[in-house]
Structure 1
Amino acid sequence: MSLAFDKIPHLPLELFALTIEYLTDKSDLLRCSLVCRGWLPFARGNLTISISTETSVTRLKDILACPENTLASTIRHLTLSEPDVETILPSLGSFTQLRSLRLWEMDAIDLPALASLTYLELDDFVHFDSCTSFLRFLSGTSNLQHLVLGNVSWDNDDPECALPALHLRSLQMWFHASRLDQRLMSTLHTKSLQLAWGDISASLDVVSKYLHVLGSDLESLQFVDLNDEGLNALSNLDFSASVNLVHLSVDGGVYYDEGTGVASVSPMLAPLLSNVARHTRLQTLQLYVDWEFECDTTLWLPPSRLGELLRTDPFTSIHTIRLSCVFIHAFEDVRDSIIATLQTGLSDSRVICDL
C-alpha cells in the first residue's frame, strides 16, 4: 500500500500557532523554532527571556537595535532584574505582544505604556523617579488582570496624582505604604486579594479598609506568614462586607515537627476561621503547613481539635479543605498526622493534601 503524500492537506498556520501556544517546555519551543520560518515567531512568542547579567543585557540591546529585528514583537513574557537592565527599559514599547513583565531591584525608572500587559510584578525594591511616572505607567496597562506589588516606592510624591481604575482578577501585596494604599483603595476592583505583610496586626486598620473597599467583589482572600499575634488580630476583624468570599487561605497556624512526627495547630487559628465563616459563604479552606517555626508550640493543639471545629456551624458550607505542605520532606507523615484526624466526622467535606 502506497501513501500519496501529495494528497495530504496542508494544515492552516493558525492551527500550528494554537498548538505551539500550549507548549511550556523550553526545549520543545526551541525545537519548534527550528522547523521552519513560519513556526519561528510562534515559538519565540512563548519563550520567557530572563536577563540578569551585563552580558545578556548587551546582547539584547544589540538585537533590539538591529533594523531587521522581529524578536521584540513576538516576546510575551519578560523578566528583568538588577540595575544593569535599566538601559533597555525605554525599548519596552517595542514589545507589542508582551503579556507578563517582572521587574526586580530597579531604581529611578520611567516605563512606557504597555497596553498588552495582563500580568505585572514589581518586586524587591522597584523605585520610580516620581509618583507621576508610576501612575502614568499603570494608566497605560489597560488590560492588566494580575498585579503583584513588592517593595515599590517613588520620589516627588504628588497628592494630586490619581490612580486609574484597576479592574483586576488578583492583587498580591508584599508590603504596604500609606500613600500607595490610599490611591489603590480609591479605584480598586479585584476578586482575589493576597496580603503578605509579616506583622499584620500592626496594619489591621489598612486590612479592614481594603475589605470594605472591595466589598462583595472579593471572592478569594489569602494571608501569608501569619504569627499568633496576626491570627489573633484577624479574629477580631470585621468581615461583614465580604459576603461573597468563598475561598480563604491561611499561611500560619499549622505546624509539623519533623523530629517528633507530630502536627499541631495554633489555638489562635480557630477564632479566626470562625470569625470569617460567620460573615461569608466559605466553600474552600486552604491551610499551609509549616515545618520551620521559631515560636514555642507547647500550648498548641492537636489537629483533631480543628477537625471538631470544622464539623460544626458555621462551617457546613465548606466542601474542600486543602492542606498545602510547604517545604515538607516527610509528606506521608504529614498526611497521616493531619489528614486522618481532620477527616474523622467530616462526611460532607473533602480533605486534600498537596505539596
Structure 2
Amino acid sequence: MSPPRLPPELIDLILGHGSDSRRDMLACALVCRDWLVFARGRLVIRIDSRSKAALFIALIQAPTTTLPATISQLVLAPAWGETPGILPILPMLSNFPALRSLTLYFIHLTNSLPTLPSLTKLTLASCGFPAYSGFICCLAKHPQLRDLVFSNCTVYRASAEERKSLPTVNLDTLVLDGNDIPTDSSSDLCLLRTRKLTFQRQSPDVVSIFLHRLGTHLTHLCLLPDVPSTLTFIHTTHLTHLKIQNVFGFGYGIDANAHSHHQSFRISPHLHSLLGRITPHNVRLRTLIFHAMRASNRGLRGGTVTCATELLGQLGLEELPELRLIVRESGVMNVCTKLRAVIRGCTGRTTVVGIVSGRVVARSGQQ
C-alpha cells in the first residue's frame, strides 16, 4: 500500500504561509523530497558575485539537474566589479520555463534578454540600455509581462521616427522610482500603457508628464503627498483607487514647558491640499488608501494612532465607499488595539479598514 500523499494544492498553500522566510521554506522542504520541488518554486534565488554565478551555472548545466524547471523568482544583483561574472547567466534564462519574476541590478543590457514566456514581473534597478529601441523591444518580447519596476535606469532618448516603428507595451502596473529619470526620456517612457502607476521620489516634471500622457488610462495611482501645488490632476478622470504614501511623518514642535524643540509624529501638511486637487476630478474614486510610515522611535509609536484619530476626524469624505489605513508597525500589539478602537468608532457611509503589518485588524461597522 502506497503512503498517503497530500494534494499538490494543499502543499503549495502550506508553503505559501512561510514564503516570507527562507528558513521556514527550507524547513518545509525537509518534510519529504516531494516538497522540495514546490519549495523551489517559491524561493527567491539571488546571485551577487562571480563565485555564486559560477556555482549557479554549473548547477543548471548539470546533466541530471531539475533546477531550471522550478525557478520562478531570480535576482541578479552584482556587487561592485562582479557584473562580468554574472552576464553569462542572461542568455541562459530561456531555459527557465517557470520564471515569473526577474530582478536586475547594475547591468548594462547591450543585448536584449531572451524571450521569457512565463515572465510577469520585471524589475530594472540602475540598469542601462544603449538605445530606446532595445529597451522597448526587451519589454515587448515577453508575452505575459504585466508589472514593470523602473528604478534609476538610463534610457537614451528616441527619435520621432524610431518611436513610430516600435510596438506599444501594455502593462498592468508601472512603478517609477528615483529622481534621476530625465524629462526627455520620460516622454519616451510614456509610450508604455498602464492602468496602475506608482511614483516614488520623482521630480515634479516627471510626475506631470506621466499624468498628462497616461491620465486617461489610469485607474490606480500611488504617490507621495508633497507634490507641488502647481501640479494638476485634470487628466486622471478615471481613478478608482488612490494611494498616498507617508501620510504621517516626523516633524518638530516646541515644548512650551521645557522651552525646547521635540520630535513629533504628525500628518503631512501637504495631504489636504493634495486631496483637494484630486477628488473633484475623479468622481469614480472608490478606494482611498493612506500608507503611514513606520514610527521607528519607540517613544513615537503612539503617534501613529494619534495621527490616525486626527485624520479620520478631519476627512469628511462621506461619498467615498472605502478608506484603507495601512500602518507598518511590527510587533506592537498596543497599536492594533488602539487603532481597532478608533476605527470601530467611525460612523457614516465610508467603510474604514485598518491594516497593520499586512493584516486587517479592524473594519468600521463591525464589532
TM-score by length of 2: 0.72
Q: Distance in 2 between matches of 1:41 and 1:189?
A: 34
Q: Distance in 1 between matches of 2:205 and 2:337?
A: 34
Structure 1 residues 211, 22: closer, same or farther in 2, change over 3 A? farther
2:197 pairs, out of 173, 190, 193, with: 193
Structure 1 unaligned residues grouped into runs of 5+: 1-5, 293-301
What SS class does the counterpart of residue 86 from structure 1 fall into?
A: helix
Q: Which amino acid aligns with 1:232?
A: S
The Cα shift of 1:11 comes to 5.0
Query: Which one is further off, 100-109 or 20-29?
Result: 20-29
**Alignment correspondent of 1:221:** 221
**Alignment correspondent of 2:132:** 131
What SS class does the counterpart of residue 74 from structure 1 fall into?
A: coil
Q: Distance in 2 between matches of 1:16 and 1:334?
A: 35
Query: 1:263 touches 1:303 (CA, 8 Å); kept in 2?
Result: no
Cα shift readout 1:272-322 (whole Å, capped 9, x = no counterpart): 112222222232331424658xxxxxxxxx7776445412xx552143240
1:255 equivalent to 2:255? Answer no
Query: Which one is further off, 149-158 or 70-79?
Result: 149-158
C-alpha root-mean-square deviation of aligned residues, in Å? 3.8
Structure 1 residues 178, 267: closer, same or farther in 2, change over 3 A? closer
Q: Distance in 2 between matches of 1:283 and 1:156?
A: 36
Q: Distance in 1 between matches of 2:39 and 2:248?
A: 43
Q: Which amino acid aligns with 1:185?
A: C
The alignment-based identity, stated in percent, is 23
Q: Which amino acid aligns with 1:249?
A: K
**Alignment correspondent of 1:268:** 270
Aligned residues: 324
Structure 2 unaligned residues grouped into runs of 5+: 253-260, 297-306, 358-367
TM-score by length of 1: 0.74
**Alignment correspondent of 1:283:** 287
Q: Which amino acid aligns with 2:176?
A: M
Q: Distance in 1 between matches of 2:139 and 2:155?
A: 14
1:63 pairs, out of 43, 59, 65, with: 59
The Cα shift of 1:197 comes to 3.2
**Alignment correspondent of 2:233:** 238
Structure 1 residues 329, 265: closer, same or farther in 2, change over 3 A? farther
The Cα shift of 1:27 comes to 4.4
Cα shift readout 1:114-145 (whole Å, capped 9, x = no counterpart): 1210111001x111243333222212111012
The Cα shift of 1:87 comes to 2.5
Q: Which amino acid aligns with 2:200?
A: A
**Alignment correspondent of 1:19:** 11
Query: Which one is further off, 66-75 or 47-56?
Result: 66-75
What SS class does the counterpart of residue 171 from structure 2 fall into?
A: strand
Q: Distance in 2 between matches of 1:290 and 1:155?
A: 37
**Alignment correspondent of 1:297:** none
1:170 pairs, out of 166, 173, 180, with: 173
Query: 1:257 touches 1:263 (CA, 8 Å); kept in 2?
Result: yes
Q: Distance in 2 between matches of 1:36 and 1:253?
A: 46
Q: Which amino acid aligns with 2:54?
A: T
Structure 1 residues 174, 148: closer, same or farther in 2, change over 3 A? same
What SS class does the counterpart of residue 103 from structure 1 fall into?
A: strand
Superposed counterparts of 1:315-326, under 5 Å: 315-325=318-328
Superposed counterparts of 1:6-45, under 5 Å: 6=1, 11=5, 15-16=7-8, 19-20=11-12, 23=15, 24=19, 25-27=21-23, 29-30=25-26, 40-45=36-41
Q: Distance in 2 between matches of 1:249 and 1:28?
A: 32
